[in-house]
């Protein structure tokens, strides 16, 4: 059955993105300037961990709507000399004093990005009561301290320079702000920054985020200690509690990063490392196992049967996931078509160095612009990760004091073969992340595709919602085969809305040492970077500055 779709044939573009190549390493991110901040660490003699931390901090200043100091996430690291992988879970935690009664279910409100019920006044997705303890600074600091090689002050210098310069507004930035104008308008500090004169900031202007550069400078000097237990912590908690949050000094001071051996999956001679069951990793492992059973020996190139096998595998793993998290009853056939349609959040990045160390990092504010709250004393845009939790009692993801986020779609993946890291890939896009990441990885492993070819190939999206979405660039025979098995939505890959996630990744050829990096073709500000000194855009000072 073919379902009507407003996205079937509305844009007239051929989207491609260039890959960067170097034997000295590569970085890929959803913003080119952030990737260059990371690549500058490689140029200065740093490793892939230095590069990924620099990239992640730089995104605070150039892509603040997706991730930042107020967010949380996962990292997977391959340590080439030690021949081992490490995972870091720096997901957020709920306030110890949180109460279910603060979040009464409101059936008239839309579901959260995780598929849980909406609540009165959208308290779990907007405003101060939607904020969890952010784990990003702890995670980045632990990665750098344990596995990096350069001083924090030098790794963070590009991020501070970008924050001091201010956010250059282009059409894409204006789009992001406009999409969340209603949420941003609820918070006076955010509204003053992003909605000057009550309207989304216009292209060719420049926004100053007050206090952000100072906050980054404090972190560069004092690390996670000042953020969770020092002077910054005092400012953060004061602002949170003034806004009505139940987060306390003890909640911040007690925060810890989980460091552990990643989940492993094997496929066609590769070992894939992901953060595990709290991420999209378990679904990825289940999807690959299902696809390998359906396709024991892959053909030379993908066939209609290949795409059917991928779709069926995604449907099966998503059904099990929804049963595990209590979103779906075991006897139910599928969710409604509206479930899982938010593809607008999170930032993913990857880095590889000449030695073969490789890192995949995904972190997020959850929704675009998170809670919509910018803390006045620090310039930090805060998450809305309370919506990771179920406001109803009795489920595995039900809210409880101090509880850590235990169900996420993020799926940073590092693939190793014959003891060498071959590629890492991740994505942004909520429920769309795992299908996109796993599809790109499967195409590389099943058919020997390069990262560049796999990222540019047409995609499908399936998450057990009653239909699957397919790119019309797939050939007629494939579309017919899929339509014979599923309700089909024909939808283009577009800049907005992103209907197939936003993938980025790096790869390395152990024989030649060539490293490759690229971002999704639908991400106009994304890209890869190779080792070079960091420089601000020479046009950075031309737009007029807008101060709140």
- Active site members: 346
Phi-psi region of 83 (alpha: psi -120 to 50; beta: other; left: phi over 0): left
Hey, which bits of 115-213 come out as E strands? 167-168, 206-207
Phi-psi region of 330 (alpha: psi -120 to 50; beta: other; left: phi over 0): alpha
- Strand 2-3 versus strand 488-490 pairing type: parallel
Beta partners for residue 470, in sequence order? 460, 490
> Which three-class secondary structure state does DSSP give residue 148?
coil
- Strand 468-470 versus strand 488-490 pairing type: parallel
Give the residue carrying structure tokens 């890869």: 528
Q: Cα–Cα distance between 23 and 27 in angstroms, integer?
A: 12
φ, ψ at 512 (rounded to 5°) = -95, -20
φ, ψ at 463 (rounded to 5°) = -150, 35
Provide the token pair at 32: 């080119």
A 10 A CB-CB count for 348 gives 34
DSSP code per residue over 335-395: --TTTT------EEEEEEETT--EEEEEEE-SSTTTTS-B-TTT-PBBP-GGGGSBSSTTS
To which H or E segment does residue 139 belong?
A: helix 136-147
The CA–CA distances, whole Å, from 205 to 192, 347, 373, 420, 544 equal 14, 24, 22, 45, 5
| Contact predicate 208/548, CB 8 Å | yes
Q: Cα–Cα distance between 114 and 366 in angstroms, integer?
A: 10
DSSP 8-state assignment for residue 130: G
| Contact predicate 159/54, CB 8 Å | yes
The CA–CA distances, whole Å, from 358 to 267, 421, 515 equal 19, 7, 11
Phi-psi region of 193 (alpha: psi -120 to 50; beta: other; left: phi over 0): alpha
């Amino acid at each position: 059955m073919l379902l009507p779709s407003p996205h079937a044939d509305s844009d007239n573009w051929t989207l491609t993105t260039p890959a960067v190549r170097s034997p000295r390493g590569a970085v890929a991110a959803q913003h080119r300037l952030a990737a260059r901040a990371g690549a500058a660490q490689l140029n200065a003699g740093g490793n892939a961990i230095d590069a990924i931390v620099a990239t992640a901090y730089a995104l605070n200043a150039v892509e603040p709507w997706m991730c930042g100091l107020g967010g949380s996430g996962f990292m997977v690291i391959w340590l080439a000399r030690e021949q081992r992988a490490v995972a870091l879970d720096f997901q957020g935690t709920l306030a110890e004093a949180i109460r279910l009664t603060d979040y009464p279910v409101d059936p008239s409100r839309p579901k959260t990005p995780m598929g849980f019920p909406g609540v009165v006044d959208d308290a779990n997705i907007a405003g101060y009561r939607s904020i969890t303890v952010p784990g990003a600074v702890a995670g980045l600091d632990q990665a750098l301290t344990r596995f990096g090689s350069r001083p924090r002050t030098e790794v963070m210098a590009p991020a501070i320079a970008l924050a001091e310069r201010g956010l250059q507004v282009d059409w894409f930035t204006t789009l992001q702000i406009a999409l969340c104008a209603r949420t941003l308008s609820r918070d006076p500090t955010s509204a003053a920054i992003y909605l000057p004169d009550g309207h989304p900031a216009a292209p060719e202007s420049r926004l100053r985020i007050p206090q952000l550069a100072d906050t980054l400078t404090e972190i560069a000097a004092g690390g996670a200690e000042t953020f969770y237990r020092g002077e910054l912590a005092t400012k953060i908690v004061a602002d949170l509690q003034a806004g009505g949050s139940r987060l306390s000094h003890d909640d911040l001071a007690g925060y810890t990063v989980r460091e552990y051996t990643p989940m492993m999956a094997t496929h066609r001679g590769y070992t894939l490392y992901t953060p595990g069951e709290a991420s999209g990793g378990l679904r990825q492992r289940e999807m690959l196992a299902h696809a390998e059973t359906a396709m024991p020996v892959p053909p030379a190139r993908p066939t209609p049967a290949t795409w059917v096998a991928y779709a069926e595998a995604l449907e099966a793993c998503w059904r099990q996931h929804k049963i595990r998290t209590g979103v779906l009853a075991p006897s139910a056939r599928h969710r409604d078509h509206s479930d899982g349609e938010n593809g607008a959040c999170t930032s993913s990045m990857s880095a590889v160095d000449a030695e073969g160390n490789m890192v995949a990092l995904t972190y997020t504010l959850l929704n675009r612009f998170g809670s919509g709250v910018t803390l006045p004393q620090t310039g930090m845009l805060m998450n809305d990760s309370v919506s990771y939790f179920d406001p109803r009692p009795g489920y595995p993801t039900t809210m409880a004091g101090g509880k850590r986020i235990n169900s996420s779609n993020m799926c940073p993946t590092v693939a190793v073969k014959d003891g060498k890291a071959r590629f890492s890939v991740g994505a942004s896009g909520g429920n769309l992340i795992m299908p996109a990441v796993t599809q790109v990885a499967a195409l590389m492993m099943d058919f020997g595709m390069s990262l560049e070819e796999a990222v540019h190939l047409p995609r499908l999206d399936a998450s057990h919602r009653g239909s699957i979405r397919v790119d019309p660039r797939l050939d007629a025979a494939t579309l017919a085969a899929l339509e014979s098995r599923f309700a089909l939505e024909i939808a283009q890959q577009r800049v907005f809305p992103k209907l197939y996630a936003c993938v980025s990744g790096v790869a390395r050829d152990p024989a030649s040492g060539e490293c490759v990096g690229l971002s999704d073709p639908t991400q106009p500000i994304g890209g890869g970077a190779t080792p070079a000194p960091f420089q601000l855009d020479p046009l950075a000072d031309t737009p007029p500055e807008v101060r709140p």
